[in-house]
Structure 1
Amino acid sequence: MTAAALPPPADWRDFLALTKPRVMTLVVFTGLCGLLAAPAGVPPVIGFTAILCIALGAGAAGALNMWYEADLDAVMKRTAGRPLPAGRMDRPAALQFGVGLGAFSVILMGLAVNIVAGAILAASILFYVLVYTVWLKRRTPQNIVVGGAAGAFPPLIGWAAATGHVATLPLLLFALVFLWTPPHFWALALFVQTDYAKAGVPMLPVVAGERATRTQIGLYTIPMAVTAILPWLLGLVGPIYGAVAGITTAVFAVLATHVATRATQANDPMTPEKRLFSYSILYLFVVFGALVADRWVA
Structure 2
Amino acid sequence: MAKTDLQLLYFTYYPKDIYPDVAMALYLVATIVLIVQIVRQKAQFWLYILPGTAFAEALGYLFRELCVHKTTFTLYVLMTLFLLLPPNAMALVNYKTVGKIIGQSSVRSRWFFLRSRFVNWFYFSSDILSIALQGAGGGLMTSRQNREAGKKIVLMGLAIQLFFFACFLVTSFYVWAKSSYSVAMCSCDSSPMWAKRKVLFTVVATTVLLYLRSIYRIIEFADGYGGPIYSAEWAFYVFDTLLIYIAFIVYMAVPLGPHFVRAKTMPSEEAGEVTAPQQVTMEEPKNY
TM-score by length of 2: 0.29
The structure with the greater share of residues assigned to helix is 1
Larger radius of gyration: 2
